[in-house]
Structure 1
Amino acid sequence: MEILKMLSAPLIGAVIGYFTNYIAVKMLFFPRHEVRVFGKVLPFTPGAIPKGKPRLAKAVGNVVGNNLLTKDDIKAKLLGGEIEHRVTEVITAELKNKLKDEICKLTHCEEDVYEGGKVKLSEMLSRQIVDEISASQLPEIVVEKANESIKEKIGSSMISKLISEERIHSLTAPLVGKIRGMIDREGMGCVQPVIESKLTDGGDKTGLELLELVKVDEKRLAEMIGKVYRKTVDKYVDKLFEKLNLAAMVENKINDMPIDEMERLVITVMNKELSMIVNLGALIGFVLGLFNLIIK
């Protein structure tokens, strides 16, 4: 009985410390809305997480927009590797098949009828290349590589819990239509100067000779398309990042996240640490109770 009396103070201190810290942890999330009494907002309402949600959303948005996905990351994945080779190869094959019949018709024209051979060929090639790029999987590939870049950089950090794979896809999915729309609207202005420059390299060749050259020289056609591809990626990735405020998109997505979902995410990430805080409260309460007993 005497021992029980001796331990009562430390045990009571442990219980008080445990529940004090438990309540403090819960106050991170509750109440979820401000509480007013006589028109005055009570202190600590809403909880720290609901109150700081806009700041958290802005901070995560800035991290994603400025660090996790940059135009240099996308360019590095799209240029100079397997992706560039694959896209160029597919477009070259499709373009060669589509141009074959038309080039054959043009090469049977009389030279005096076909005075504008270079101009005609430039326009035809440019239009076909733009159409093929637009119809290709390039926009989807850009988005796929953007997703990969984000997932690689966030890894298993806390941000990966706030921005799930589904949220990443919901952020980047609209890019497919934006990229394809930009190619359709502005593709000719980007492609045709490259084609004209390449045809000018043909020197004094006549229109028919240039047509014949393109018809038989698949390697030259592939080089031309490769240059167009690189210029297209370089130009449109820059323009896309100018128009797309990724930081704001992420910020809006997190602000739209229900607070109970955010609570689950924070607890999932920090469950161990939060439990340690609660248990530490019990330990401190026990030690203080024991210390008080010793003093007496």
Structure 2
Amino acid sequence: MHTVYLIAFMVLIGAVIGGLTNSLAIKMLFRPYKEIRIKSWRVPFTPGLIPKRHDELAIQLGKMVVDYLITAEGLGKKLKSSVFSEGMISWLRVEAQKVLTSNKSAAQLIEENMRINQPKKVMLEKTESFVQKGLSQFLEENRERTLSDLLPETLQQTVDSKLPDITQYILDRGQAYLESPEGKEKVSVMIDRFLIQKGTLGNMISMFLGNERLVDKVQPELLKFLRDQGTYQLLLTLLENELVKWKGKQLKDFENYINQEEVVSFVVHTVHKHVPFFEWIDQPMEEWSGAYSDFVMNNLIPRGVELALTVLSSHLEELLKKFHLEDIVTEQVKTFSVERLEELVLSISKKEFKMITYLGALLGGVIGFIQSLIVLLIG
């Protein structure tokens, strides 16, 4: 009976010591949270392991997250998966449908979600600023260049090819005007003025021939002149020469004739008038978005998601570097209190820590049993 008590006692003592030792070791991972000092002497094993290595733990966690958990390769596979892309498309379609069928205007939605007051006014101001800056920059950069350098080659060729037609049009319009009663009257007035300027000689001509008879003689000659091939060729040559002169002029030669404010105002007014968005922005979305709903849902969103995921996948490594993810994780872990870290670890591994304690008690009991046998054998 004495032997049984001895074995049981030794086993119990070993189990208690083993369990308490493991439990204490687990506690010492976190506690004490701060070092304990008796005057200038620091009590050994204070603070606990994790509080003592808090900064190192934060750095290592940051490296582990970047090197093994959130990697460009892993994220790339996730982004390229059909499940992820389909999920993104479905989510965007739901959100887009809410916007497209809203009874609020685009201006209201922009004000609510982007915190931009009077978005239409802001857009017009931005357009005006953009046009003003672009025009000023264009004039500054091209002041010394000629029109021939600035105008597109195709436009110059088109103008050149149209000169014969323009020449013929001018002559045709001149003939039509001379043949009209208004044109004949104008010629008569001009003849009368000419004769008056000639004084006595003009009066004598007018007296002998009569103004009407002179008009009747001059008008056919003028028409014959306009119909003559030589006149056509002369006018065409004059227009070609003038066009060459104009092409050779520099932009600065016309700068005094360019009112930048009027040009900018004209462009902005044209954009405001002809770009539909400026009209729609104050209307409820549901009134005008229906015509574009199918395009947005079946074309814009799928292609946009595909393009966005492709671009993200190809630049993931660079983006992760720019995010400084390792530094973010490190800083976040450093801000964790030791109590929070303890709570976090225990919430994950509480069951395992209990098993370690029980295992320590079991091993302690086994060791106590073995010791008791050794004592009995020696005794």
Indicate the structure (1 or 2) with the bigger Cα radius of gyration.
2
What's the TM-score once normalised by structure 1's chain length?
A: 0.46
What's the TM-score once normalised by structure 2's chain length?
A: 0.37
